[in-house]
Amino acid sequence: MHRPPKFILNFFRWFCHPDLQRSIEGDLIELFEENVKRKSLMKARWVFMLDVIKLIRPEIINPQHHRPTSLLRNHFKMAGRQLYRHKAFSAISILGLTIGIAAALIILRFTTYQLSYDQFHENKDDIYRVVCQPCGDDQEASARNYYGLGSLIQSDFPQVEHVVRFWKMWNNNDGYAWKYNDLIFYERELIEADASFFQVFPSLLLKGDTETVLSQPNSIVISESTAKKYFGKNDPIGKVLNSSEYDYLITGVSKDMPDNSHFKVNMVSTMYEDDWSEQEHGWYSSTLYTYLTLKDQEAIPDFKEQLTKAIRAKSKEFEHLEQAEFELQPIADIHLDSDLTHELGANSDRSTVYAIGGIGLLVLIMAWINHINLFMSRFLSRARELNIRSIMGAGRANLTSQLLVEYICLMSMATLLAIATVALAEPYLIHYQIIPDMGMEYYRKDIWLAAASIILLCSLLTGLYPSLLLSKIKIQNGLKGSVSTGKSTAELRGALLVFQLSISITLIAGVTILSQQLEKLRTADLNMNVERVIAIHNPTTYTEFEGEENQVINYQTFKNELSRHSSISSIASSSSIPGSPVGFSYVDHLKNDRTDPRDAKRFKMVFIDQDFFEVYSISLLAGRSYSSNIQQDVNQKSIILSSSAIEHLGYSSAREAINQSVDFKLFDEWASYEIIGVFEDYRHESSKVGMYPSIMFFNRYEEYIMHHLYHSFKINNQRDTKAALAHLEKSWAKVWPEKPLEYYFIDTVYEKQFKEEIAMGNTLMLFSFIAVFVAGLGILGMTLFEVQIRKKEISIRKVLGSSVTAIIGLLSKRYVALLAIASLISAPIIYSLGGQWLNNYPDPIALGPVLLALPVMTVLLVVAIACGGQILKSAVDNPINNLRDE
Amino acid sequence: MKKFQLGEFEEIVMLTVAILHENAYGVSIKKEIESRLGRSVSVGALQSALKRLEEKDYLASHDGEATQERAGRPKRFFKITSLGKQAMEHARETRNSLWDAIPSVSLDLKFLRGHHA
């Protein structure tokens, strides 16, 4: 259900009379819900906000809010007049502050979300994940662990309360089909776990007993939303779900995990102990995620010491354990600090989160600087006013509070506007992935409070500074109007402006670097064509509701049916599709000869059928593709390798490798294969991952259906897309009428790999825009002032014969100089930070001079627009206008 | 004359509360006015009128029971007090006497049309 914007609701609660608040709030919510249904969410939010604003009336406001002392009331009146009289200055100030605060709010939501990961576990401080390096097949540190480790901890470690191992049963796009009566859905995010799963994560269980819910074999706990999907409002407990050939009894219901969890689970079933016999798998392959809860955090060193000892003892039996190091990760740190192989989800990075938080703060600081700048530009006129006040008997405290009230008025107007802006912009911000789509209840209150108090404090300082400065001026000088704004303040303003300009330049450069790198990632050496290629999840793979023979026949029928469309020529079947990880299939020991002791590189393997290369337009450098008519291929005695694999095996050219033989171990058996083809390296995964040598292994559909997770086909003609999809649905319905159809466009799947970069790009884009805008406002304010105080000087210069160009030069000289200094400051920042960030990518772009030139030119343009008008106006103005008063 | 003060909008609100009888609360009053008079009413205008009328003792209110809808917020139901009834009658009488005092010639259609042009 949709809820009205929280900010606005809270604001309403704050100002409303307590007697009226609950009933009016009810009315507002009722209207809002009705509007969501009748119009749209966007519209409803808008109406809600207007309604709340229109409620600000004397009868409805909490009486406590309107009883200021008479002096304060006078301050407010004066502030109102000041703001009203200097409309341009006030508008610039408010606009700047609004944007700054809005930016800070957006960033705050982003950062608190990132910092809120896994905070929802009630026992979050006690949960740890055990990771190791090297681990099983992985040389690098792995998030998964040995089966034996769980057993060992369970039996020998008194410090540990509970330990759970679980096995992730889904691979990116694949799902398992689950059935209840006639309902079949593909389910992802399912795990098989030890019975102790909900003892380690008790907050996740809604219905059922943490101890016993998974104690029987074939029990399953499903999430709330999954339960709703299958059973609607009925109680799922005791019902039976069917998957593959097994029946599972539902024994519990778990919470839908929020997005800010480093792993997500929809279904938890009991792990088969038999599958993981201690002898065979216990300490060899590492495929299980292992979490534990400690009784006492003090026990960590003790636990680690005991573990090291125990592993050393084990390594007498299992040699490869000698090097293994085990580590405990607190669950709340995993999302930000852990970047291991086999992570359960895409983790973030603490320094990036802090950097973005820093940008938000910088933009806010820029807005404050603007305010100070603008305020000081009015120094002269304010000085006279305040001095008269002090002659009339106002003390310094009084003057300061007067100015502070004025600032608070500005600030609160800006804050309200900012809150409204963010509330209205929210759907767009969510759409561009700048902020997450999540209820506020998942954010961390402590961080919001801390941020709010920091902002409040800085706000006060910003407000106080000019006030203190002003109230210190000597009365006589102030009255004579001869207060010089002073060299120091002019310098300070210059410095502040340089600061703003450097930030703008740096941010724009950031956007440029990011978008260039992204472009490179997207296009670099793709060496295949994924346009208009569609993949379908193989409906038979995990639904063995029918005999295997039937499946093969059905697939043939489907293929025939589908290829009848004029725009679909061939249909391929494979174990993985571009854009998703190759998955479980990899080979460690590919050698020219199995006796060769060298074994350095790992090869990834994709199982394909004869049409795969054609559908994806992957080109063969030498040799031929597989064919289902050649006996050698059907018997799986031939192999096709990537060009980098060939290189790795020591052949100098693709042609040379053809007809040579290689050995490797597949499913624990050594065999020899003849190289029949070499394909050009293509980016199965984006270039973020780097290129790895790979094997395409032939697997006839009839032989081993388990390896044919995807069917893919290409729509040859763009115009036929719609018709082809309709044809797909029809063909599907003919063959598998009872099964849900799931298909995806490969280019979309492929694009998903850049999700982080795109989201980051959008964020940076927004903030550089904001920063530049705020800086522009600052410059505008400053020119307004400068032109005003130099009016007479300019006129005299003109009278004495100075040309318009000379005057424009005179006035703009300063800004050009400031911009030059700013560029000098930002250049090293851009190149060092940019270089550092690019190090994350195996194939970074070069940092050329354009990356500095482009942002500087952009900022120059903004500066010109901001101050150009004013300067031009004063340069062409008739001198008589400014001199006749004298 | 100062005895019963009832503004135009206030009078409409009073009448609507009377029409709705037992079921007069914020949203229902708002909708009733909107549908009968064909004009939109903001929550703010309505609530401040209700508050004023209550302060004048023309209306009395009580909170309904909290229900599942409206996120558990209670409805505040309004009822006309006997003073309120007197005020309404007074308004009606005043208006009627004014109507009665209009000379028939001033409502002549020709005159109105001429005035328009």
Helices A6-15 and A396-431 sit at what angle, rounded to 10 degrees?
150
- Candidates A22, A23, A31, partner chain B, best to mutate (most B CBs within 10 A): A23
Our CA-based measurement puts residue B86 at a distance from the nearest CA of chain A, in whole angstroms, of 24
Q: Are A746 and A578 in contact (CB under 8 A)?
A: yes
Return the residue matching tokens 């608070």. A408
- Give the span between the Cα atoms of A633 and A655, in whole angstroms: 19
Our CA-based measurement puts residue B85 at a distance from the nearest CA of chain A, in whole angstroms, of 23
- Please, which pLDDT band fits residue A412 given cuts at 50, 70 and 90? confident
- Give the span between the Cα atoms of B31 and B36, in whole angstroms: 8
- Give the span between the Cα atoms of A286 and A340, in whole angstroms: 14
Tell me if B51 and A23 make a contact (CB, 8 A cut-off). no
Our CA-based measurement puts residue B26 at a distance from the nearest CA of chain A, in whole angstroms, of 6
Average pLDDT over residues A451-461: 81
Q: Coil, strand, or helix at residue A709? A: coil
B63 phi/psi in degrees, rounded to 5? -80, 135
For residue A2, give the chain B residue with the closest CA.
B71
Residue A702 has pLDDT above 80, yes or no: no
Q: A269-287 as b/e, with b when 16 or more CB fall inside 10 Å?
A: bbbeeeebeeeebbbeebb
Compute how many other C-beta atoms are within 10 angstroms of the C-beta atom of residue A295. Answer: 12
Return the residue matching tokens 């023309």. B58
A617 phi/psi in degrees, rounded to 5? 50, 50
Length of chain A equals: 886
Query: Distances in Å between the alpha carbon of B70 and those of A2, A24, A61, B50?
Result: 12, 10, 22, 20
Residue B51: list chain A partners with CB under 8 A.
Answer: 17, 20, 59-60
The more confident residue out of A612 and A282 is: A612
- Give the span between the Cα atoms of A741 and A729, in whole angstroms: 8
Tell me if B43 and A58 make a contact (CB, 8 A cut-off). no
Our CA-based measurement puts residue A23 at a distance from the nearest CA of chain B, in whole angstroms, of 5
Q: Coil, strand, or helix at residue A671? A: strand
**Tens digit of pLDDT for each residue in A639-672?**
898 888 888 888 888 888 888 888 877 766 778 8
Residue spans of alpha helices (H) in B21-71: 26-37, 43-55
Our CA-based measurement puts residue B73 at a distance from the nearest CA of chain A, in whole angstroms, of 5
Query: Nearest Cα to A84, choosing from A347, A413, A357, A484?
Result: A413
- Please, which pLDDT band fits residue B39 given cuts at 50, 70 and 90? confident
Instruction: Give residue A46's pLDDT.
Output: 87
The more confident residue out of A196 and A527 is: A196
Q: Across A245-249, A279-283, A567-571, A820-824, which has the greatest mean pLDDT? A: A820-824
For residue A4, give the chain B residue with the closest CA.
B71
**Beta pairing partners, A698:** A608
| Chains A–B, number of C-beta pairs less than 8 Å apart | 71
Of A29, A54, A56, the CB nearest to B70: A29
Instruction: Give residue A50's pLDDT.
Output: 87
**Tens digit of pLDDT for each residue in A560-612?**
888 888 888 888 888 888 887 776 555 656 777 766 666 556 678 888 888 88
Instruction: Give residue A548's pLDDT.
Output: 62
Tell me if A31 and B43 make a contact (CB, 8 A cut-off). yes
- Give the span between the Cα atoms of A256 and A438, in whole angstroms: 13
Tell me if A60 and B76 make a contact (CB, 8 A cut-off). no
- Give the span between the Cα atoms of B84 and B15, in whole angstroms: 10
Residue A162 has pLDDT above 90, yes or no: yes
Tell me if B27 and A31 make a contact (CB, 8 A cut-off). yes
Helices A396-431 and A87-115 sit at what angle, rounded to 10 degrees?
60
Tell me if B47 and A20 make a contact (CB, 8 A cut-off). yes
- Please, which pLDDT band fits residue A824 given cuts at 50, 70 and 90? very high
Residue A291 has pLDDT above 80, yes or no: yes
- Give the span between the Cα atoms of A815 and A837, in whole angstroms: 31
3-state SS, A371-409, equals HHHHHHHCHHHHHHHHHHHHHCCCCHHHHHHHHHHHHHH
> Would you list which residues of chain A are within 8 Å, Cβ to Cβ, of chain B?
3, 17, 20, 22-31, 33, 50-51, 53-60
Helix or strand run (H / E) with residue A608: strand A603-608
Residue B75: list chain A partners with CB under 8 A.
Answer: 23, 26-27
Tell me if A54 and B52 make a contact (CB, 8 A cut-off). no
Instruction: Give residue A254's pLDDT.
Output: 94
**Tens digit of pLDDT for each residue in B7-28?**
889 999 999 999 998 889 989 9
Query: Nearest Cα to A515, choosing from A684, A752, A768, A764?
Result: A764
For residue B48, give the chain A residue with the closest CA.
A59
Tell me if B70 and A57 make a contact (CB, 8 A cut-off). no
Instruction: Give residue A828's pLDDT.
Output: 92
Tell me if B48 and A30 make a contact (CB, 8 A cut-off). no
- Give the span between the Cα atoms of A411 and B102, in whole angstroms: 56
The two three-digit tokens of residue A231, written as one number? 């059973």
Of A30, A54, A56, the CB nearest to B70: A30
**Beta pairing partners, A190:** A267
Q: Coil, strand, or helix at residue A287? A: strand
Return the residue matching tokens 């000019």. A466
Tell me if B48 and A60 make a contact (CB, 8 A cut-off). yes
Tell me if B42 and A31 make a contact (CB, 8 A cut-off). no
Of A23, A31, A54, the CB nearest to B75: A23
Our CA-based measurement puts residue A8 at a distance from the nearest CA of chain B, in whole angstroms, of 15
Half-sphere exposure of A450 (CA within 13 A, CB side): 7
Tell me if A54 and B73 make a contact (CB, 8 A cut-off). no
- Give the span between the Cα atoms of A292 and A129, in whole angstroms: 6
Query: Nearest Cα to A855, choosing from A366, A524, A522, A515?
Result: A515
Tell me if B73 and A22 make a contact (CB, 8 A cut-off). yes
Instruction: Give residue A171's pLDDT.
Output: 59
Q: Give the start-end residues of each E strand in chain B.
A: 59-63, 76-80
Tell me if B43 and A55 make a contact (CB, 8 A cut-off). yes
- Please, which pLDDT band fits residue B117 given cuts at 50, 70 and 90? very low
Query: Nearest Cα to A709, choosing from A508, A538, A886, A881?
Result: A538
Residue A22: list chain B partners with CB under 8 A.
Answer: 63, 73-74
Residue A25: list chain B partners with CB under 8 A.
Answer: 73
pTM of the model: 0.70
- Candidates A22, A32, A46, partner chain B, best to mutate (most B CBs within 10 A): A22
Residue A320 has pLDDT above 70, yes or no: yes
- Give the span between the Cα atoms of B79 and B29, in whole angstroms: 12
Residue A53 has pLDDT above 60, yes or no: yes
Provide the sign of the torsion angle of the four alpha carbons A24, A30, A34, A37, taken in this order.
positive
Our CA-based measurement puts residue B16 at a distance from the nearest CA of chain A, in whole angstroms, of 17
Residue spans of alpha helices (H) in A719-790: 721-735, 746-752, 755-789
Average pLDDT over residues A236-259: 88
Residue A313 has pLDDT above 50, yes or no: yes
CB proximity list for B62: less than 8 A, separation 6 or greater: B76, B77, B79
A396 phi/psi in degrees, rounded to 5? -65, -40
- Please, which pLDDT band fits residue A238 given cuts at 50, 70 and 90? very high
Residue A197 has pLDDT above 90, yes or no: yes
Residue A31: list chain B partners with CB under 8 A.
Answer: 27, 30, 43
**Beta pairing partners, A61:** A16
Return the residue matching tokens 């797909």. A728
Our CA-based measurement puts residue B89 at a distance from the nearest CA of chain A, in whole angstroms, of 25
- Give the span between the Cα atoms of A694 and A528, in whole angstroms: 15
Residue A439: list chain B partners with CB under 8 A.
Answer: none
Residue A20: list chain B partners with CB under 8 A.
Answer: 47, 51, 76
Half-sphere exposure of A880 (CA within 13 A, CB side): 0
Average pLDDT over residues B109-117: 49
Query: Distances in Å between the alpha carbon of A410 and those of A92, A416, A515, A779?
Result: 11, 10, 37, 19
Our CA-based measurement puts residue A21 at a distance from the nearest CA of chain B, in whole angstroms, of 10
**Tens digit of pLDDT for each residue in A167-189?**
887 655 566 778 888 788 878 88
> Would you list which residues of chain B are within 8 Å, Cβ to Cβ, of chain A?
25-27, 30, 42-45, 47-48, 51-52, 63, 69-71, 73-76
Average pLDDT over residues A255-263: 89
Average pLDDT over residues A511-532: 82
- Please, which pLDDT band fits residue B115 given cuts at 50, 70 and 90? very low
Average pLDDT over residues A62-85: 75
The more confident residue out of A844 and A384 is: A844
- Candidates B33, B69, B73, partner chain A, best to mutate (most A CBs within 10 A): B73
- Give the span between the Cα atoms of A38 and A809, in whole angstroms: 59
**Tens digit of pLDDT for each residue in A105-144?**
888 888 888 888 998 899 999 999 999 888 876 777 888 8
- Please, which pLDDT band fits residue A249 given cuts at 50, 70 and 90? very high
Of A3, A27, A58, the CB nearest to B43: A27
**Tens digit of pLDDT for each residue in A325-380?**
888 999 999 999 988 878 888 788 888 888 888 888 888 888 888 887 777 777 66
For residue B67, give the chain A residue with the closest CA.
A26
For residue A33, give the chain B residue with the closest CA.
B70
Average pLDDT over residues B41-53: 89
**Average pLDDT, whole number, for chain A?**
82
Q: Are A411 and A88 in contact (CB under 8 A)?
A: no
Return the residue matching tokens 């004025």. A406
**Tens digit of pLDDT for each residue in A732-785?**
888 888 777 888 888 888 888 888 778 878 888 888 888 888 888 888 877 877
Residue type present at position A442: Y
Q: Are A763 and A356 in contact (CB under 8 A)?
A: yes
Average pLDDT over residues A806-818: 87
In this structure, the strands spanning A160-168 and A286-294 are antiparallel
Tell me if A26 and B71 make a contact (CB, 8 A cut-off). yes
Residue A55: list chain B partners with CB under 8 A.
Answer: 43-44, 47
